[in-house]
Structure 1
Amino acid sequence: MEMTIMKLLQATSLTKKFQNKIAVNSINLTINKGDFVALLGPNGAGKSTTINMLTGVIQPTDGRIDFDGRTSNNCEYKNKIGVVFQNSVLDDNLSVKDNIMARARMYNKPTQIQPLINKFGLESIWKQKYGSLSGGQKRRVDIARALINSPELLFLDEPSTGLDIQTRTAIWNVLDELRHNMGLTVILTTHYLEETQNADYVYIIDQGKIIAEDTVDQLQKKYTKNILTLYYQNGEPKNITVSDKNQAIQILSKNSQVISDFAYRPGTMNDVFMNLTGKEIR
């Protein structure tokens, strides 16, 4: 039985001009319910401007954003989304508890707080001042804050920058659980391309335009090469471009008697990004 795809958010001909500069140039985005969508681009590409328009922080110069019949300057729209900004919006001088409870009072029907405390391990830091926390602890509080209104759509604007791999992994484990258990839809911008490998769909933006969009698999097929390196018993190693792992296995079988070792490197999102933009994402 086929699953019904439900469109959650549609941005059409989205454009933002600042004086004479076009930061975002007539882009189209479709976000389906329950999907994990990554928005990638080098610094200055227009990612943050796009996120700011989608979250209602700024209004587009032209184009339209539609979230189940609501536009981004609508109060109901803003109640349906959660946002984790690059820079925290919480008060350094308040405790974690006071920050979270102040946020909860902004909504008529906030989610239950205790499950968020448990999921993000906030019990031990609940009474500490937010400003005294480590980067990883602050980020866990930031995400918990963004989920207080039980949003349908969560925006994560470079949520892992500066965090160690263990903290990043722990945060993503919780987010994956929320996605699968609650059908949470996630839009991510990130500097860590490995975080996009599990995305359902990826938009790559450069100079204010979308230059590529597709699933991770299709982007890797279109814009990368898989490299098989054969190390011969006598002679120089040889690099061979292969379409997939099955072709690599066939080549290895044919050459098993004459090689001493091999390496197989599939194309990655790093390769896709570099091949499309000619730039490191950092």
Structure 2
Amino acid sequence: MSGAGRRTVIRAEQLVKAYGEFRAVDGISFEVPAGESFGLLGPNGAGKSTTMRMIGGVTQRTGGKLEIMGLDPERQGPEVRAHLGVVPQQDNLDEELRVRDNLIVYGRYFGLPMGYLRQRADELLAFAQLEDKAGAKVDSLSGGMKRRLTIARSLVNEPKILLLDEPTTGLDPQARHVLWDRLFRLKEQGVTLVLTTHYMDEAEQLCDRLIVVDKGRIMAEGSPAALIREHSSREVLEVRFGAERNAAVAGQLEGVGDRVEALPDRVLVYAADGERALELIRARGLHPLTSLVRRASLEDVFLRLTGRSLID
């Protein structure tokens, strides 16, 4: 298992969260060793955020066991939260306070002294690249700046574990990459990262290991590279013949590549050599309107496991 030799900081055994007859989390088990970047990947409604809320102790579990640093988050909530930093899906900054004051006021909730907080706030503003915005009102910040401030705020108490729920949703590509860089730096400092995402490129970039979750259950577990090797081919050829023809043409591609999958807008051909697969298609007298060869991704893994896109 990845992380062998490192202390386990999160352990879930047959974890369940039910709302009446509906199980949002349906008996999942996993372990996270210290210093790992661990991801929960899946579509909206898969049970990722519910799992995060149980780890954070804000949602009670229906069944199973859950330990955070050897503690039960339901019975020992304050002790658990002292070790956690939480970045919620939606920024919940205090719009009435200035940027630096958001950090200081939040730190007071942990009973931290003002002398420490003033210094810590300056350190975190530098980490988040927000020094020049220290005196600005929060509502004047861009979306990416607000997200970096939310992460900076979550680090006030120097947490050992940082929970990030959909950390880059709604951000433009440049802001996402800046945020990824900040998270890489935290990992280098030994902070354990646990994040949910439905962005496969984000999971591939940030996660040492992840679980693919759908309908409250774990569909697969492993490193991004291992999951791609196990559930997909080396390359994927995407071809489009038109919405009315894709499904019919897909039926004529048997033997081209390892596997063929018809989506509403395109046909996916999984193959070790995408260009060779395209040559075989054309040799059959079939001429796609567009074609693209790319490396396999976690989205392909999810399609294989669940039959639908991560962003459905």
Question: Does the CA contact (< 8 Å) of 1:228 and 1:241 recur in 2?
Answer: no
- Confirm whether residue 86 of structure 1 aligns to residue 61 of structure 2: no
What residue in structure 2 maps to residue 136 of structure 1?
144
Three-state SS of the structure 2 residue aligned to 1:197 is helix
Q: TM-score scaled to structure 1, two decimals?
A: 0.84
Report the equivalent of 1:161.
169
- Give 1:76 shift: 1.1
Decide which of 223, 235, 257 is 1:215's aligned counterpart: 223
Identity of aligned residues (%): 36
Displacement after TM superposition at 1:266 (Å): 2.6
Q: What is the 5 A alignment of 1:1-282?
A: 4-73=5-74, 74=76, 75-109=78-112, 112-180=120-188, 182-198=189-205, 199-227=207-235, 240=257, 265-282=294-311
RMSD: 2.5
Question: Which amino acid is 1:154 matched to?
Answer: L
For structure 1, the 5+ residue unaligned runs are 230-237, 252-262
Structure 2 alignment gaps of length 5 or more:
238-254, 260-271, 277-291
Distance in 2 (alpha carbons) for counterparts of 1:265 and 1:133: 37
User: 1:167-208 CA distances to partner (integer Å, 9 max, x unpaired)?
Assistant: 11111111101211x211111111321111141111011111
Cα 1:207–1:240 shift into 2, 3 Å: closer
- What is the CA–CA distance in structure 2 between the aligned matches of 1:105 and 1:43, rounded to whole Å? 34
SS in 1 for 2:181: helix
TM-score by length of 2: 0.76
SS of the residue 2:305 aligns to: helix
Q: Distance in 1 between matches of 2:166 and 2:4?
A: 31
| Number of residue-to-residue matches in the alignment | 258
Moved more, 102-111 or 214-223: 102-111
> Deviating runs (4+, > 6 A) in structure 1?
none
Q: Show the counterpart of 1:234.
A: none
How many Å apart are 1:100 and its aligned residue?
Answer: 1.0
**Residues of 2 paired with 1:222 and 1:37: CA distance?**
19
Secondary structure of 1:99 counterpart: helix
